[in-house]
Amino acid sequence: MIGFAIHPRQRAVSADVAAKFVGMPVANLSDCMSRMTAGGPRLRPMHDGTYMAGPALTVRSRPGDNLMVHKALDVAAPGDVIVVDAGGDLTNAIIGEIMATYAKSRKLGGIVINGSIRDAGALRRSDFPVYAAGITHRGPYKDGPGEINCTIALDGMTIEPGDLILGDEDGLLCIPYADVEAVYEAGKAKNAAEEKTFANIAAGTHDTSWVDARLKALGCLKG
């Protein structure tokens, strides 16, 4: 039937690879990806801020409908991050406390909803990662259609099943499966450079001469 499909996932980043990224600032990794990838400013953490890292299990659902999200909770493997494109509509909540609790019991890595959640207080106190675009008390429909393990896009960020999904208090990032190791190495170098900068600030030796050099190059300063 058109609009209904459950596809097999062809590949996914491993749990060991995902674990290497835990704690790496999403902002730094985003810089390493030339600032060209982002999940959009509307998708914010609805939990206590615990870091999220795991392979994507993608869902495309009709706005306001969570039938395929329920199926995804049963299909997903431990560590998977369920990423739901519900069209960004905020009218009806796609998940709430019960579904998040069930996902945590199955040891999933987190849930991302391009749409609304409810039971916000309970989710906010939880360490189970949930990202969403909004909050509403109005519940979902359960009629479909929907697809599991298909290509989706959140605010221009394309996500393929099995790509690495990361989230911290700054938001979400998808690292394509083929780029994971390169981004990891670049992220380590970026983190080391920032640690050196903080050390220089503490020592009073932080060099900001680049600011005037840039302004001179732009014609704002003379000499």
Whether the CB-CB separation of 51 and 24 falls below 8 Å is answered with no
């979400």: which residue's tokens? Answer: 172
Of 111, 81, 87, the C-alpha closest to 99 is 111
Any binding-site annotation on 98?
A: yes
How far apart CA 86 and CA 115 sit, in angstroms, is 6
Angle at 217 between CA 211 and CA 221, to 5 degrees: 70
1 is in an annotated binding site: no
The answer for residues whose C-beta is within 8 angstroms of residue 204's C-beta and 6 or more apart is none
Is 99 labelled a binding residue?
yes
Residue 118 counted as an annotated binding residue: yes
Q: What are phi and psi of 25, to 5 degrees?
A: -55, 130
Quick one: which of 54, 41, 49 has its CA closest to 134?
A: 41
**Whether the Cβ atoms of residue 95 and residue 67 lie closer than 8 Å to each other:** no
Annotated binding residues, written as ranges, equal 96-99, 118-119
List binding-site positions for Mg(2+). Answer: 119
Binding residues for substrate: 96-99, 118
